[in-house]
Amino acid sequence: MGQAVEVTCPTCKKIFVVNPHMLGSGMDFHCPFCNLYFPEKDSPKIRK
């Protein structure tokens, strides 16, 4: 885990944390608030 990266959900706009190794992995993020699975490119904001 170590560092947390903040990801904004494209649908509900809420922010959640992912491990840096998720970035560029090709794995979809999972929004814990609205249950959306989405690719990295769809997030309106990723704060490292």
Sequence-ordered list of residues with C-beta below 8 angstroms from that of 3, at least 6 positions apart, any chain? 19, 20, 48
Q: Give whichever of 2 and 44 is closer to another protein, judged by the CB atom.
A: 2
33 binds another protein (CB under 8 A): yes
Binding pattern to another protein, positions 1-20, x when CB under 8 A?
A: xxxxx----------xxxxx
* Rounded Cα distance, 25 and 43, in Å: 15
Among 13, 21, 45, 47, binds another protein (CB under 8 A): 21
Among 25, 39, 45, 47, binds another protein (CB under 8 A): 25
* Rounded Cα distance, 3 and 41, in Å: 20
